Homo-oligomer: A and B are copies of this chain.
Amino acid sequence: MPELRQEPITKKWVIIATERSKRPSDFAAKQQERRGGGFCPFCGGNEGKTPPEVMAYREKGTKPNTPGWWVRVVPNLYPALTKTEAQNSEENNFYQTKPGLGAHEVLIESPEHNSTLENHSPEHVNEIFFAWRDRYKALSKAPGIRYVQIFKNEGSIAGASLEHPHSQLIATPLIPPVIDEELKGARDYYQQHGKCIYCEIIERELKAGARLVASNYDFLAFCPFASRFPFETWIIPREHQAGFDLVNDDQLQSMSGLVQEVAQKVSGLLNYPPYNMILHSAPAGHSDSAYYHWHLEILPRLTIVAGFELGAGIMINPTPPESAAKYLREENAKSASENEPEKERLAWRQIH
Binding site for B on A (CB under 8 A): 1-6, 8, 12-13, 15-20, 78-82, 84-87, 89-90, 94-100, 147, 149, 151-153, 156-160, 168, 170, 172-174, 176-179, 181, 200, 204, 208, 210, 225-226, 276-280, 297, 299, 304-314, 316
Contact = CB atoms under 8 A, between A and B. Distances in A.
Nearest to A157: B304
A341 to B, nearest CB: 29
A279 B308 CA distance: 10
Contact of A96 (B1, B6, B168, B305): B6
Contact of A305 (B4, B16, B305): B305
A177 B98 contact: no
A15 to B, nearest CB: 5
Given A79-B19, A308-B168, A4 B173 contact: yes
A157 B305 CA distance: 9
A84 B4 CA distance: 13
Contact of A5 (B97, B168, B204, B210): B97
Count copies of this chain in the complex. Answer: 2
Task: Give the interface SS of chain A, mostly helix, strand, loop or mixed.
Answer: mixed
A70 B188 CA distance: 52
Contact of A280 (B81, B179, B311): B311
A177 B312 contact: yes
B177 A314 contact: yes
24 contacts: A1-B85, A3-B87, A3-B100, A4-B97, A5-B95, A5-B98, A12-B177, A15-B81, A15-B100, A17-B78, A19-B82, A20-B80, A80-B308, A95-B204, A151-B307, A157-B304, A159-B306, A172-B312, A176-B311, A176-B313, A178-B312, A276-B311, A277-B307, A278-B307
